[in-house]
Amino acid sequence: MSSYTRVALVTGANKGIGFAIARDLCREFPGDVLLTARDEARGRAAVQQLQAEGLSPRFHQLDIDDLQSIRALRDFLRKEYGGLNVLVNNAGIAFKTDDPTPFDIQAEMTVKTNFFATRNVCNELLPIVKPHGRVVNVSSSQGSQALENCSEDLQEKFRCETLTEEDLVDLMKKFVEDTKNEVHEREGWPSSAYGVSKLGVTVLSRILARRLEEKRKADRILLNACCPGWVKTDLGGAHASRKVEEGAETPVYLALLPPDATEPHGQLVCDKVVQNW
């Protein structure tokens, strides 16, 4: 296995925070950096931009909403690298606050991509992550905010240490169903589809980390969720307080945790500091 080149992969890396993460990893990661994007032309343009800066990322197409696309990437990683060393799940969507799309459609689409598609990437790629691998799920403090705005009953469920992945999936499906039936507020949900989707990502990260601890403890893989902060991107908008370079700092820090590190693991990390859950 050791004859393989090391490889780090960033999803949704053609712009914004994902692009900044890929750039930093090109500078600091000792191996290949795979920049992935749904749109091949945009992805290749991003690669060219980094090449113009003297960096050398590789490109691979990935649409996280498409299971076949995820599996094609998995097969490529297996064949080319014998697995994966670093996975940064950054791809995600958000509707603008003034978007006229009905709330239930926003909820369905946002949860589908940010939670379910990210979960699919984890389920397909975690089995090929090598010992001492690092997995970073880009979440958001809006997820923590959404948790605070949930009913006490829902808060208890999301915070439960024994919550299973199946339980979490049921909760996320219930949110979408409740918005369709226009009862989400009555059922204790906040009115932020993005917040709930990222709450799902944070809790999923805790569950997956626990599973790694149980099944692959000796491999010392560290998996965390992080909040990049409010960043000037297409998603964050022009009024955000941070530049993309600053938004990339914590994800890159988690991606490059030294091989002998034992923590953080299964945490939500903001500004390189573990957050209380």
pLDDT of residue 265: 98
Q: Is the pLDDT of residue 2 over 60?
A: no
Per-residue pLDDT of 111-139, as tens digits, reads 999 999 999 999 999 999 999 999 999 99
Active site annotation includes 194 = yes
Task: Let me know if 72 is exposed, middle or buried by CB neighbors in 10 A (0-12, 13-18, 19+).
Answer: middle
pLDDT of residue 1: 46
Of 4, 81, 194, 253, the active-site residue reads 194
| DSSP letter, residue 128 | G
Per-residue pLDDT of 81-116, as tens digits, reads 999 999 999 999 999 989 999 999 999 999 999 999
* Among 161, 171, 175, 251, CA closest to 207: 161
Q: Is the pLDDT of residue 71 over 70?
A: yes
The torsion angles phi and psi of 247, rounded to 5 degrees, stand at -65, -30
pLDDT of residue 277: 80
Which pTM value belongs to this model? 0.96
pLDDT band of 234, cuts 50, 70, 90: low
Averaged pLDDT for residues 132-153: 97
Question: In this prediction, what percent of the chain has a pLDDT beyond 70?
Answer: 96
Secondary structure (3-state) at 7: strand
